[in-house]
């Protein structure tokens, strides 16, 4: 592999791993929010209107920012009709083929999220709830998560090409 591609793979893998490991602990923050919601609503009878939406934002950021990490660690969901029976080289070839569909989808998703974020910022969009939070923070995290997954998809594609050509990364 050319040094530029090897450097790209190392940088993207490192970023996705650090972001994924950091975001991994957000589930505990979400659990704290849900427990706090239960306590304030059912025990002290003082419901806080912002908690459930904040928990929803947290879990959304959790799975969007963790997408690249799940690809890196190969912990994502895969349809396995005959994939498991393939050799390592055969799996790499199949992954190369499907990578083009994934990258196409992620590019469209990324472009759509840019448009959505621009609209949200220009209109100062808020949710139509009692709390009425601004939407731009979660849409920004959405854009970052999709971008990281797109970068990781290219990194995985390059690694699969190296496997097929039997080259070191």
Per-residue model confidence as pLDDT tens digits over 26-43: 999 999 999 999 999 999
CA distance 142 to 42: 32
HEC profile for 139-159?
A: HHHHHHHHHHHHHHHHHHHHH
Helices of type H across 49-87: 51-65, 67-72
Residue 113 Cα to chain centre, angstroms:
13
Which are the contacts of 8, defined by CB distance < 8 A and separation ≥ 6?
Answer: 154, 155, 158
Structure confidence at residue 166 (pLDDT): 87
Q: Does 97 score more than 90 pLDDT?
A: yes
CB contact at 8 A, 150 and 4: no
- Of 77, 85, 80, nearest to 102 (Cα)? 77
CA distance 119 to 122: 5
Structure confidence at residue 81 (pLDDT): 81
CA distance 75 to 63: 13
Per-residue model confidence as pLDDT tens digits over 11-30: 999 999 999 999 999 999 99
Structure confidence at residue 130 (pLDDT): 83
């Amino acid at each position: 592999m050319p040094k530029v591609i090897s450097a790209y793979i190392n940088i993207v893998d490192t970023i996705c791993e650090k972001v994924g490991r950091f975001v991994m602990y957000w589930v505990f923050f979400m659990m704290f929010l849900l427990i706090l919601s239960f306590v304030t609503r059912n025990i002290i009878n003082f419901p806080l209107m912002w908690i459930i939406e904040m928990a929803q934002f947290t879990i959304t950021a959790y799975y969007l920012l963790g997408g690249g990490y799940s690809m890196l660690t190969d912990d994502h969901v895969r349809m396995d009709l005959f994939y498991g029976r393939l050799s390592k080289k055969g799996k790499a070839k199949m992954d190369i083929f499907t990578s083009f569909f994934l990258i196409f989808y992620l590019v469209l998703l990324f472009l759509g999220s840019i448009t959505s974020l621009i609209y949200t910022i220009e209109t100062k969009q808020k949710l139509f709830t009692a709390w009425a939070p601004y939407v731009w923070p979660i849409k920004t995290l959405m854009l970052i998560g999709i971008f990281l997954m797109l970068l990781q998809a290219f990194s995985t594609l390059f690694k699969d090409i190296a496997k097929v050509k039997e080259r070191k990364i």
